[in-house]
Structure 1
Amino acid sequence: MNAKGTILHKSEGFMVGRILIADEDSSHRIWLNSSLAGAGYCVEAVSDAQALTDRARATAPDVILLPERLAKRSGNVLCAKLRALPETRNAALALIADNATRAGRLSAIESGFDAILRHAPAPRLLRAWVRNLLRRQAAEAELQNALAPAAPLGFAEASDQSMAPPGQICIIANSLSEGLLWRNNLTARMRDRISVLDPQRALQELGNGQSADAIVISHSAEDPDRSAQLVSELRSRSETLRAAIVLVQEEPDQESTISALDFGVNDVLEDGFEAIELSQVLRREMARKARDDDRRASLESGLRMATFDSLTGLHNRRSALTLLDRITEAAERTKEQFAVMVLDLDRFKSINDRFGHRAGDAVLSEVSQRMQNCLRQGDVMARIGGEEFLAVVQSCDAATARVAAERLRRVVADSSVKLGEDGPEISVTISIGMVLGGSGGSEGSAAELIDLADRGLYAAKSEGRNQVTIYQSAA
């Protein structure tokens, strides 16, 4: 305990999570702290809302544990304040309820809490909740950190989830009749599509194209291991890996709750099915999933923009150099040859001057698609300059490479590019310089091989254009 009365616990070795506890009851603070001791967490406990806010700003905790009495006194203001702070915007907020009434849980969900724990949960159960919340918080933080560099460009902006289309909810109850009853009660409160799965074939149905943004599982007291096994299976499959999963128990079952939390459920309702509470939990978890899905889509979009040329859809120069480096390294191991070609559209400037830059872009796009379609899967086609391209053909000898280069030349030259239905037709040709790399070919880095192929391109241009020239060293 420090001079201000703050309890600090720091385990030996590395920290796997920062936990901030706020509770007016000193004995409860000590109990919570000791329950989390030895699990490798960095735990700090304070006594009031102001101290909580101050320490949250200073330490940026991963999980915040609040007692219901403190949350009630501060109302929704405290939760909203924590969500507004940059240091705690993405922290997991857990309410430790005094009596765990349904009304209290509904109020906590509406206030923005991520989990509601019963008063003085057993240490094993408390740690299971903390583990679960930490995993989820870490996954969200990883997404945000990955998107952080793109934030100034606007790629990381979160969409308004209130405008999101209806999601898909799947119910796996103990019987079809129970599932249909749950669906009927939820349908009156939710705009999402709700399906009831056969409890004996749920995994097969989900693996055969049945999508799910959220899955509700009814816990069976007669077969308590079934729900944990089901969650484990769902979390191991790509189709349901990121679906929100909610477990509904008829009455609290500590061991089943611990197993379910460790296998990856998003929440556990311990007092049986109740449509209002379950619908609120589902809305909260589906909104979180939709937000994370948007972040992943933004990340994929940013990655694509960093890897591919926006006009032609081909690899850009940076991506092509990386791929060529890998192909060069692989060829050293396999003792195979590969061909590097630099291609340049002939007299492209005259196309821009005569027909305009929009026509030039249309020519680039059309020619790129033609050439891309000429290559095998695994070969590389990239745009590395204005009208300059790079092709890499793997596992080929000189004769095969020559045939591939001639095919690329012909696919450009043999058919003109038509600009729209009533637009002009533009004849285009391309010159190609080529060098062989790998076993028996020229040696060098990706950049050096491109330079050699570029010399071949210069020769092709000098000798009249619309032809393929293979660079060969003086040796």
Structure 2
Amino acid sequence: MAGRILIVEGTASHRILLRARLTSAFYEVLVAETGGEALAMIDESRPDLVLAATELPDMCGSGFCTRLRALPDQADTPLVLLTEDDLVDERLALLAVGADDVIARAVEDILLLARLRSLLRRARAQDQMELRTDAKRALGLSEAPRSFQRPARVALVSLDPALGLDTIAARLRVGIGAQVELSAAGTLLQSQAISAEAVVLIDTGGEPGAGLALLSQLRTARAQHHAVLVYVTDKGRDEMAARALDLGADEVLHNGPEALELALRLPRLIGRSRRAKRHRAALRNGLRAAMVDPLTGLYNRRYALPEVARMAQQAARCGQPLALLVADLDHFKKVNDRWGHAVGDQVLVATAQRLTAGRRAQDLVARLGGEEFLIALPGADIDSAAAAARLLCEEVAQLSLPMPRLRAGRPSLFSPTISIGIALMDAGGEAVETALLRADGALYAAKHAGRNRTHVAPPAAFPHAFGALRGA
């Protein structure tokens, strides 16, 4: 089924007609005769959308909307109210109390069904954004109410050169405190254009089809990709309005440009857009936190191992080598024991910065854990990898880090050193873990040889060469 819709209608003939229209569009249809019956069944039936008449046997449309919005978890359930006549004042009043749309009962099926599809898409997108409360806290989405909201940026675009927008712009500036600009269509499509939070496209007198074509381009334009798109057309152009909704318009006004209606709809749309933007940012930050070591800013082991596996596959396809360097700080335990873990953290951060300095974009630097680091060098043969490793040793050894005073006198300076094991991944499909074991063995050999130096692992066919050193 396309979705579950609750029809609330007191007149039997209207219920039957609406049910037939929606069932033929493959919706699951529930029916209630009164507002009270509908409110009682909503918690159990959980409709995806409510379609209600404004004149019910036990209450008016405004009262039904207010009581629906007061129910738990029903603040965002899409609600469409059907009126007998298309009266501007009635529509504005019902939008003001929380209806998502107000449509005349005589509207064409093509527009009614397109409106329902649009609202259901929006509701499902919002459901996907909504996380459980504990997950929100974990990702930092639970935030204190904001005492200041910046003014919304709204762009007005008209395809009718004879239509003046100054009055509408002035009313929006006063009514919702928005920063409203009159924009040309081409300006908004430029890659360097300033992103608007909402674009109101008024298609009431331009070339036929031009408005829908512009709408499609705005939806995919880089600068306006996340903007709220409101399409405005004249009464009687139901097919155009329906096509606009299916092309991605977030809202359609099909009775011409009405400043008061825009002032009612835009704040809700922009509010949803801002919440979605915060969700996306929090999810990106959560993903980053799962991949990045918080102390050094390097990728962590969880990210590095699958990434090296991907790099190895690409190297094998291209017939290119891939070198793995495992670096470890020498005598790091002594640093922690002498100066404390806070100083040890500073040494780790400084070392990480030296390891990443000058690296190519395709190289990977990660912290495997503790004082151990991984550097993956795609395209590097054993000679260039060994040269890069020696240079890293020299650069780290050049650090001169001030240490806290342990007794009276001048603070001491500390120069850390690292040892590095090098392994060239076998082109025959060697597992990442196996290559890391070889590099780790070479690291032990470098430590055993005196530290602050590098060692190259033997080829994959001879991994037993480090057995004695590991047992030492």
Q: TM-score, normalised by structure 2?
A: 0.88
Structure 1 residues 397 and 34: alpha-carbon distance in aligned structure 2, compared to 1, 3 A threshold: same
Q: How many residues align?
A: 452
Q: Within 2, Cα distance between the matches of 1:242 and 1:283?
A: 15
Structure 1 residues 277 and 341: alpha-carbon distance in aligned structure 2, compared to 1, 3 A threshold: same
2:420 to 408, 432, 436: 432
Structure-2 residue corresponding to 1:135: 121
Structure-2 residue corresponding to 1:170: 155
Structure-1 residue corresponding to 2:246: 262
How many angstroms does 1:151 deviate by? 2.8
Structure-1 residue corresponding to 2:8: 22
Structure-2 residue corresponding to 1:95: 81
Query: Which segment drifts farther, 296-305 or 327-336?
Result: 327-336
How many angstroms does 1:315 deviate by? 0.9
Q: Within 2, Cα distance between the matches of 1:209 and 1:372?
A: 35
Structure-2 residue corresponding to 1:157: 142
Q: Within 2, Cα distance between the matches of 1:425 and 1:103?
A: 78
Per-residue Cα deviation, 1:85-123 (whole angstroms, up to 9, x for no partner): 2xx454322222333433333333332232222224221
- Maintained 8 Å contact 1:22/1:67: yes
Per the alignment, in what secondary structure is the counterpart of residue 176 of structure 2?
A: coil
Pairwise CA RMSD: 2.6
Structure-2 residue corresponding to 1:67: 53
Per the alignment, in what secondary structure is the counterpart of residue 130 of structure 2?
A: helix
1:351 to 299, 318, 335: 335
Structure-2 residue corresponding to 1:211: 195
- Maintained 8 Å contact 1:24/1:48: yes
Per the alignment, in what secondary structure is the counterpart of residue 195 of structure 2?
A: coil
- Maintained 8 Å contact 1:172/1:196: yes
How many angstroms does 1:264 deviate by? 1.3
> Is 1:367 matched up with 2:351?
yes
Per the alignment, in what secondary structure is the counterpart of residue 196 of structure 2?
A: coil
How many angstroms does 1:58 deviate by? 2.8
Q: Which amino acid aligns with 1:322?
A: P
> Is 1:387 matched up with 2:368?
no
Structure-2 residue corresponding to 1:232: 216
Structure-2 residue corresponding to 1:77: 66
Structure-2 residue corresponding to 1:397: 381
How many angstroms does 1:307 deviate by? 1.2
Query: Which segment drifts farther, 427-436 or 238-247?
Result: 238-247
Q: Within 1, Cα distance between the matches of 2:106 and 2:234?
A: 20
Uncovered stretches (5+) of structure 1, i.e. residues with no partner: 1-14
- Maintained 8 Å contact 1:161/1:290: no
> Is 1:459 matched up with 2:445?
yes
How many angstroms does 1:290 deviate by? 0.4
- Maintained 8 Å contact 1:307/1:316: yes
How many angstroms does 1:305 deviate by? 0.7
Structure 1 residues 330 and 338: alpha-carbon distance in aligned structure 2, compared to 1, 3 A threshold: same
Q: Within 2, Cα distance between the matches of 1:165 and 1:41?
A: 40
Aligned sequence identity (%): 32
Q: Which amino acid aligns with 2:121?
A: R
- Maintained 8 Å contact 1:65/1:93: yes
Query: Which segment drifts farther, 347-356 or 209-218?
Result: 347-356
Computing the radius of gyration from Cα coordinates, the structure with the larger value is 2
How many angstroms does 1:76 deviate by? 4.6
2:271 to 287, 301, 312: 287
> Is 1:223 matched up with 2:195?
no
Query: Which segment drifts farther, 58-67 or 259-268?
Result: 58-67
Structure 1 residues 53 and 462: alpha-carbon distance in aligned structure 2, compared to 1, 3 A threshold: farther
Structure 1 residues 73 and 222: alpha-carbon distance in aligned structure 2, compared to 1, 3 A threshold: closer
- Maintained 8 Å contact 2:189/2:218: no
Query: Which segment drifts farther, 187-196 or 313-322?
Result: 187-196
> Is 1:340 matched up with 2:324?
yes
- Maintained 8 Å contact 2:66/2:98: no
Uncovered stretches (5+) of structure 2, i.e. residues with no partner: 405-409, 463-472
Moved over 6 A (4+): none
- Maintained 8 Å contact 2:326/2:436: yes
